[in-house]
Amino acid sequence: MNRSNGWRARFGRLLGGFGVAGGDSGALLQTRYTVLDAEMTGLDPERDELLAIGAYRMIGARILVGERFYSLVRPEKDRWGPSVPIHGIRPVDVVAAPPAQVALPEFFAFIAGTVLVGHGVEIDRSFLRRTAERYGLPFPRGLWIDTGRVARWLVTRHGTFAEASADRGRFGLEDLLAAYEIPCPARHHALADAYATAQVWQRQLYELAEEGIQTIRDLRLAGLA
Amino acid sequence: MDDVVLGSVVEFLRRVPPFQFLDEERLERLTKRVEVHYFPRGAVLIRRGERPPEYLWVVVRGGVKKVLRTATGEEHLFEVASEGDLVGVLSSVDGLEGQLDDIAVEDTVCYAIPRTVVEELIASEPAVARFFLGALREWVRASLTALERQEEPTDGALVLSAPCRTVARYPLLTCPLGTTVRRAAQVMSAERVNSIVVVDANGRGVGIVTDWDLRERVIAAGRSPEVPVEEIMSAPLVTIDADRLLLEAVRVMIARGINHLVVTEEGKPYGMLTAFDLLVRQGTSALFLARALERETRVERLAEILEQAQRQLLPFLLSRGVRASEIAQIVSEINDRVIARVLALLEQELGPPPVPYCWLVFGSEGRREQTIRTDQDNGILYADPPAGAEQAVRGYFLRLGQWAVERLVALGFPPCPGRYSADNPEWVLTESEWRRKFRAWMSVPEPQAVLNSLIVFDFRGVHGELALATELRDFVRRELAHSPRFLFHVAAVSTAQPPPLGFLGRFVVERSGEHRNQLDLKLGGTGAIVNLVRLFALEHGIEETNTLARLLALRESRAIEPALAEDLARAFEFLLELRLRVQLEQLQRGERPSNHVDPRQLSSLDRTLLKEAFRVVARAQAVVRERFHLEQAGE
C-alpha cells in the first residue's frame, strides 16, 4: 500500500540518523520549536534565492513574542521574478541587507537544538539547504514539521508529502488562518507569516494531543515529522 | 518598525488598562517579554486552591469564565473575561493561590505576561500598582454610597471638568538644553520630584527627563552622567494648555499612552500633570462632576459639561471595567442634578412655587438605567391647591413644565415623541388627579392603556417635595393589591415580545428596512426584562424602580426563584453593557445611537452570551405565562 510505504520509508530514514534536543520521547508540549517562514525571489531552489527569513521561538504551545529572528537577505543575482508583488520586497530594500553567508549562520544559531515548524516547510527547507551548500555552510540536522501536512492529517488521518501537495489548495495557510479565526497583521511578510504559522501550530498541538499524539515519537509514527 | 507582530501586540496592549498607562518604550519592552498562549474550550487557566500561575493573562480573543464550585458541585459564575480583560490578577499581584476556577468558555487566545514582569511593573509604576490594587471599582462604589449619604467630598474634590491649571503641580522644574545629566539629577533630587522639563533658549519645552530615563538610559546603558540632557530626554514633549479641561488631559494621556503631561500657558511650560494624580482620583471625580453641575449657573456651561460626560466619561469608565449598571447610576446622578439645577433656576425666574411640588421622571430615567441620553419622560406632581386657587396654581406648573422641558431639550435631552413629558398638561397633575389616573389604569384595564401607562409606573421623584412621590408610590401599592385584572394585563403585555431567538437558538434578525440583518437589543432584551421585573415588583409590592434593585428585593423576599432572579440580573447587566458599547461606537462614528445591532459584527463571545441572555428572557416569560395562564405569544 502506498500509504504505509510512504511513512514506513520516512520512519526508517528518520530513525537512522536523528538527534534533537529533548529526544525521541520528548513531549510535544515541552519541546522547543522554531516556527519559520522564508521569502524567495522565486520557487526554484536551484535558480532562485532567499530574500527574507522570519522565525519565532515556541516552547510547547507558548509563543515567545520577543524571541524572534528576522533578517532580509541580499541575493547575489539580480533575478527578481513575479514574486515581488507577493512579498513586496524590492531590490532597493535589500541593498543594505546582509548576504546569505552572513544571515544564514545567524539563523542557524537561532534554530540550534529546536524542532523546525513551517507551513509547506519543505520549500523553505530546500532553499535553506541549497543556500547552505552553495556557501559551504554546515546545514544543521533537525526535525521538520509541516503544519500543512498536520492539518491534512487531522482531517484525513494520513498524510504523505505527495498527498499534502496535491491537497495544497485545501490546506493553504490562508485557509487554516480562516478556519482557526487567526487574524494576521500582514500576510506574506516572513515574520508575520511565521507568527501566523506559530498560532496554527499552537492549535494543532492541542488537536494532535486529542488524537493521542503527544510526543515526537508519536508524530513520527504518524508520518508527520 | 520592521516587526509588525510586536507592533500589533503593542497596539493591543496600549488599549488595555493598566498597560495603557505605560509610556511607549516601557510598553514595548514589556511586549518583548509577552508570550502568546492558546486555550481550547474547556481548558483550565487557573484552578482554585492550586499554586499561583506564572502568568497574568490578557484575553485577546475568546472568553474565560471565573467560577466558584461549591461542595455540592454547584457552579457560581462570577464573570466572564473577554477581549481586553485580565485573568489571574489576584495571583500575579499578591501571589495568592487560585481563588476561583478560570476556564476557557471557547477557544481562547491570550497574551501572557510572566509574573516577574508584572511584579517589576508594580514596583516601578504607581499607576499600574493602583490599578492592580483594584481600588478603582471600590472608589466608584464607595463614592456612590457617600453620595447617597450626602457627604461632602473630603479629598479636595477633583473634578474632571475643571481646567488643568487647577490641579497641575507647579512651579515646574526646568533646565536649559546643554545641562549635564548629573546636574539635572541633582536638581530633581533636591526638589524631590521625578521629572524635569528641558527648555530651549526661548523657554519652550523640548523634552522631559524622568527617573525612568535616568535609570534606563544612563545607569543601565552605562552612559556618563556628564552627557547633556538632550541625549537622554524623552522628546517631543506632550503638552496641554492650562485652560483645557482635565477630561481632555485624560483623553490625551490615554491616546498617547503617557504618564506625564506638561501643562503650558501661552506655549510655555507651567506645571506638571501626572496620570497618577488623575487616575487615583478619577473614579470619584465622575461623581464630583455632578457636584460641579450643581454649582454651575450658566446653562450653556451645563450643556458643555454634559456633552463631555457623554462623549468621554462614559467610554472611559466602560474601558475601566465599571459595570454598565454602575455607569447608569453615575449618569442618573448627573442628570438628576442637571434637572434639579434647571428647576432651581426656573423657580428663581417664575417665583417660588405656590404649593409644594415634585418633579417626576418616568421610564429609564425613573429606573436609573439611562446611559446615552434618550427621550425625556417626566411630569409634575403638586399638592392639592386651596379652593379657588386651582387655576392660578395650575397655570404656574404648566408654565414650569413647559419651560423646564424646553431648557432640557436645549441641554441635549431629546424631547419625548410620545409626549410623556411635563410640557404636556396630561402629566402635570395634582395629587388627587394623579391618584385618579392610576386608579383608572388599574381598575378598568384595557390593553393599550396598560401598555401606555407602564413607563409611568416607574416614576421617581427627582426635585422638590420628594415626599409627594413617596406617598403616591404607597397609594399605587395599596391599589394594586385589589387589582388582579390589571396585573393580568401587565403580564400579557410583558410577555408579548419574545426574544429574537429562533429555531435551534439562531438569532432572528430583521429581513428588510433600515435595520436589515440587525436585531433589537431592547425590544426582546433589556425592555423585556424591565417589563418582566416590573410585573414581579408590582405584584409583590416592591417600591424600587431600578431593575437590578427590584430583582435583589424580589430575591431577598423569595418572591421569585433565586436562580431566576440571578440569571435575569446577569442577563440584564450583560444586555445593558452590550447596548452601551454598541451605542458608544455609533456615537463615535457620528451616527445616532440605536438599539439595533448586527449579531455578525459581535465577537463570538458576545454572541454566545447574547444567546444565553435571550434564553433567560424566554425562560422568564414562560414562567409568567404559566403563572397567569396566558397563551404563547404569536401562536
Query: Residue ranges of the domains in chain A?
Result: 23-221
Confidence of residue B633 (pLDDT cuts 50, 70, 90): very low
Q: Answer whether B38 sits within 8 Å of A185, measured CB to CB.
A: no
Q: Is the pLDDT at B356 greater than 90, yes or no? A: yes
d(CA A20, CA B566): 55
CB contact B116 to A (< 8 Å) = no
Q: Answer whether B107 sits within 8 Å of A65, measured CB to CB.
A: no
For residue B34, the chain A residues in CB contact (below 8 A) are 65-66
Minimal C-alpha gap between A223 and chain B (Å): 25
Q: What is the pLDDT of residue A4?
A: 39
What is the number of CB-based contacts under 8 A between chain A and chain B?
A: 58
| Averaged pLDDT score across all residues of chain A | 81
Torsion angles phi and psi, residue A40, rounded to 5: -125, 170
Instruction: Name which of A65, A199, A210 to mutate to probe chain B: the one with the most chain B Cβ atoms within 10 A of its Cβ.
Output: A65
Q: What is the pLDDT of residue B627?
A: 87
- Residue B502 makes CB contacts below 8 A (sequence gap 6+) with B508
d(CA B131, CA A107): 41
Dihedral (Cα; B261, B263, B267, B270), 10-degree rounding = -130
Q: Does B4-133 match B483-635 in CATH topology?
A: no
Dihedral (Cα; A135, A138, A142, A147), 10-degree rounding = -10
Which has more confidence, A15 or B312? B312
CB contact B76 to A (< 8 Å) = no
Q: Is the pLDDT at B1 greater than 60, yes or no? A: no
Nearest by CB to residue A63, choosing from B36, B40, B43, is B36
* Closest-CA residue of chain B to A59: B35
For B367-379, the pLDDT digits (tens) are 999 877 778 899 9
Nearest by CB to residue A65, choosing from B32, B40, B43, is B32
CATH 3.30.420.10 for the A23-221 domain, yes or no: yes
Q: Answer whether B36 sits within 8 Å of A189, measured CB to CB.
A: no
Minimal C-alpha gap between A11 and chain B (Å): 30
Q: Is the pLDDT at B154 greater than 50, yes or no? A: no
Q: Answer whether B5 sits within 8 Å of A185, measured CB to CB.
A: yes
Which has more confidence, A141 or B606? A141
Q: Calculate what percentage of chain A has a pLDDT beyond 70.
A: 79
CB contact B33 to A (< 8 Å) = yes
Q: What is the pLDDT of residue B87?
A: 86
Cell of B148: 447617597
Q: What is the pLDDT of residue A83?
A: 65
Confidence of residue B138 (pLDDT cuts 50, 70, 90): very low
Q: Which CATH superfamily is domain B4-133 in?
A: Jelly Rolls (2.60.120.10)
**Bridge pairing between strands B195-199 and B174-176:** parallel
Q: Answer whether B35 sits within 8 Å of A191, measured CB to CB.
A: no
- Residue B148 makes CB contacts below 8 A (sequence gap 6+) with none
Q: Answer whether B36 sits within 8 Å of A202, measured CB to CB.
A: yes
- B/e letters for B253-283, b = 16+ CB within 10 Å, e = fewer, are bbeebbbbbbbbeeebbbbbbbbbbbbbbbb
Q: Is the pLDDT at B301 greater than 70, yes or no? A: no
Which has more confidence, B502 or B179? B179
For residue A206, the chain B residues in CB contact (below 8 A) are 38, 40, 43
Q: What is the pLDDT of residue B235?
A: 84
For residue B40, the chain A residues in CB contact (below 8 A) are 203, 206
Q: Answer whether B7 sits within 8 Å of A185, measured CB to CB.
A: yes
- Please provide the distance, in angstroms rounded to a whole number, between the alpha carbons at the two ends of chain A: 20
d(CA A104, CA A135): 10
Dihedral (Cα; B133, B138, B140, B146), 10-degree rounding = -140
d(CA B331, CA B287): 9
Q: Answer whether A62 sits within 8 Å of B37, measured CB to CB.
A: yes
For B249-296, the pLDDT digits (tens) are 766 665 565 667 899 888 888 888 876 555 444 444 444 455 555 555
For residue B36, the chain A residues in CB contact (below 8 A) are 62-63, 65, 198-199, 202
Task: Please check whether residue A64 is in contact with residue A56, taking contact to mean a CB–CB distance below 8 angstroms.
Answer: yes
Give domain B483-635's CATH architecture: Up-down Bundle (1.20)
- Please provide the distance, in angstroms rounded to a whole number, between the alpha carbons at the two ends of chain B: 62
Nearest by CB to residue A192, choosing from B5, B38, B109, is B5
Which has more confidence, B132 or B436? B436
**Bridge pairing between strands B108-114 and B55-61:** antiparallel
d(CA B99, CA B109): 22
CB contact B514 to A (< 8 Å) = no
For residue A192, the chain B residues in CB contact (below 8 A) are 4-5
Instruction: State the average pLDDT over residues B213-227.
Output: 86
Q: Is the pLDDT at B451 greater than 70, yes or no? A: yes
Cell of B256: 498617547
Q: Is B552 helix (H, G, I), strand (E, B) or coil?
A: helix
B245: left (phi over 0), alpha (psi -120 to 50) or beta: beta
Closest C-alpha to B240, from B250, B232, B230, B228:
B250
Cell of B491: 403580564
Task: Please check whether residue B218 is in contact with residue B268, taking contact to mean a CB–CB distance below 8 angstroms.
Answer: no
Confidence of residue A82 (pLDDT cuts 50, 70, 90): low
Q: Is the pLDDT at B12 greater than 60, yes or no? A: yes
Delimit the domains of chain B by residue range: 4-133, 483-635
Q: Is the pLDDT at B456 greater than 70, yes or no? A: yes
